[in-house]
Protein backbone atom coordinates (compact mmCIF):
# COMPACT_ATOMS: atom_id res chain seq x y z
CA UNK A 1 0.00 0.00 0.00
CA UNK A 2 2.05 2.93 -1.25
CA UNK A 3 0.67 6.42 -0.90
CA UNK A 4 2.45 9.53 -2.02
CA UNK A 5 1.85 12.55 0.13
CA UNK A 6 -0.26 14.72 -2.12
CA UNK A 7 -3.15 17.08 -1.79
CA UNK A 8 -3.82 20.37 -0.15
CA UNK A 9 -2.69 21.01 3.37
CA UNK A 10 -5.43 21.90 5.83
CA UNK A 11 -4.84 22.60 9.51
CA UNK A 12 -8.42 21.47 10.16
CA UNK A 13 -7.70 18.08 8.60
CA UNK A 14 -4.53 17.74 10.68
CA UNK A 15 -6.44 18.56 13.86
CA UNK A 16 -9.32 16.19 13.05
CA UNK A 17 -6.92 13.41 12.10
CA UNK A 18 -4.92 13.66 15.31
CA UNK A 19 -8.16 13.93 17.29
CA UNK A 20 -9.18 10.51 15.89
CA UNK A 21 -5.94 8.87 17.01
CA UNK A 22 -7.08 8.51 20.65
CA UNK A 23 -9.84 5.97 21.30
CA UNK A 24 -12.90 7.85 22.55
CA UNK A 25 -14.11 4.93 24.68
CA UNK A 26 -11.11 4.73 27.01
CA UNK A 27 -9.14 7.90 26.15
CA UNK A 28 -5.95 5.82 26.35
CA UNK A 29 -5.65 3.62 23.29
CA UNK A 30 -3.84 5.00 20.26
CA UNK A 31 -5.18 3.70 16.95
CA UNK A 32 -2.24 2.90 14.68
CA UNK A 33 -4.01 3.37 11.36
CA UNK A 34 -5.44 6.73 12.45
CA UNK A 35 -1.98 7.69 13.69
CA UNK A 36 -0.65 7.15 10.16
CA UNK A 37 -3.58 9.06 8.62
CA UNK A 38 -2.80 11.99 10.93
CA UNK A 39 0.90 11.91 10.09
CA UNK A 40 0.06 11.84 6.36
CA UNK A 41 -2.05 14.97 6.79
CA UNK A 42 0.78 16.67 8.64
CA UNK A 43 3.23 15.59 5.93
CA UNK A 44 1.23 17.51 3.32
CA UNK A 45 2.36 20.62 5.16
CA UNK A 46 6.02 19.65 4.72
CA UNK A 47 5.57 19.33 0.97
CA UNK A 48 4.40 22.93 0.85
CA UNK A 49 7.38 24.34 2.77
CA UNK A 50 10.39 23.77 0.53
CA UNK A 51 13.23 21.39 -0.26
CA UNK A 52 14.40 21.42 3.37
CA UNK A 53 11.46 19.27 4.41
CA UNK A 54 11.05 17.21 1.26
CA UNK A 55 13.62 14.68 2.50
CA UNK A 56 11.65 14.37 5.75
CA UNK A 57 8.39 13.82 3.88
CA UNK A 58 9.91 11.10 1.69
CA UNK A 59 11.41 9.34 4.70
CA UNK A 60 8.05 9.46 6.47
CA UNK A 61 6.28 7.77 3.55
CA UNK A 62 8.48 4.69 3.96
CA UNK A 63 7.62 4.53 7.65
CA UNK A 64 3.91 5.05 6.97
CA UNK A 65 3.93 2.16 4.53
CA UNK A 66 5.56 -0.17 7.05
CA UNK A 67 2.93 0.56 9.70
CA UNK A 68 0.07 0.41 7.17
CA UNK A 69 1.22 -2.99 5.96
CA UNK A 70 1.46 -4.28 9.53
CA UNK A 71 -2.08 -3.02 10.22
CA UNK A 72 -3.39 -4.53 7.00
CA UNK A 73 -1.71 -7.93 7.41
CA UNK A 74 -2.45 -8.34 11.11
CA UNK A 75 -5.28 -5.98 12.09
CA UNK A 76 -5.97 -7.63 15.45
CA UNK A 77 -2.44 -7.27 16.80
CA UNK A 78 -1.74 -3.92 15.13
CA UNK A 79 -5.02 -2.19 15.95
CA UNK A 80 -3.62 0.05 18.68
CA UNK A 81 -0.18 1.05 19.84
CA UNK A 82 -0.77 -0.98 23.00
CA UNK A 83 -1.73 -4.20 21.14
CA UNK A 84 1.28 -3.76 18.85
CA UNK A 85 3.67 -3.45 21.79
CA UNK A 86 2.17 -6.52 23.49
CA UNK A 87 2.28 -8.56 20.29
CA UNK A 88 5.83 -7.57 19.36
CA UNK A 89 7.12 -8.08 22.90
CA UNK A 90 5.61 -11.57 23.07
CA UNK A 91 6.87 -12.52 19.59
CA UNK A 92 10.29 -10.85 19.88
CA UNK A 93 9.49 -8.73 16.82
CA UNK A 94 10.23 -5.00 16.99
CA UNK A 95 9.58 -3.63 13.48
CA UNK A 96 6.41 -1.74 14.41
CA UNK A 97 7.83 -0.31 17.63
CA UNK A 98 11.04 0.79 15.93
CA UNK A 99 9.10 2.40 13.07
CA UNK A 100 6.80 4.30 15.44
CA UNK A 101 9.82 5.46 17.41
CA UNK A 102 11.42 6.77 14.21
CA UNK A 103 8.20 8.59 13.28
CA UNK A 104 8.08 10.22 16.70
CA UNK A 105 11.73 11.25 16.43
CA UNK A 106 10.99 12.83 13.06
CA UNK A 107 8.06 14.69 14.56
CA UNK A 108 10.25 15.90 17.42
CA UNK A 109 12.90 17.09 14.93
CA UNK A 110 10.28 19.00 12.97
CA UNK A 111 8.82 20.52 16.13
CA UNK A 112 12.17 21.84 17.34
CA UNK A 113 13.15 23.04 13.87
CA UNK A 114 9.92 25.00 13.43
CA UNK A 115 10.07 26.32 16.98
CA UNK A 116 13.57 27.63 16.40
CA UNK A 117 12.59 29.09 13.01
CA UNK A 118 9.69 30.96 14.60
CA UNK A 119 11.86 32.33 17.42
CA UNK A 120 14.56 33.63 15.04
Q: Where are the domains of the chain?
A: 28-119
Taking the model in full, what pTM does it have? Answer: 0.78
pLDDT per position as a tens digit, 61-111: 889 899 999 999 999 999 999 999 999 999 999 999 999 999 889 888 878
Q: How confident is the model at residue 2 (pLDDT cuts 50, 70, 90)?
A: very low
- For residue 10, give every residue at least 6 positions away whose Cβ sits within 8 Å of its Cβ, in sequence order, or none: 41, 44
> Within 10 A of 86 (CB to CB), how many other CB atoms are there?
12
What is the overall mean pLDDT for the chain? 84
Cβ atoms of residues 95 and 66 within 8 Å: yes
Superfamily of domain 28-119: Glycolipid transfer protein (1.10.3520.10)
- For residue 84, give every residue at least 6 positions away whose Cβ sits within 8 Å of its Cβ, in sequence order, or none: 32, 70, 77, 78, 96, 97, 100
Amino acid sequence: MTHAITGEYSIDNVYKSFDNVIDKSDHKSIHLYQFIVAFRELSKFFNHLNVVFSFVAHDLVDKFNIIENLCKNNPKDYHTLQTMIEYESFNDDKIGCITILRLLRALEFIYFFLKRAIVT
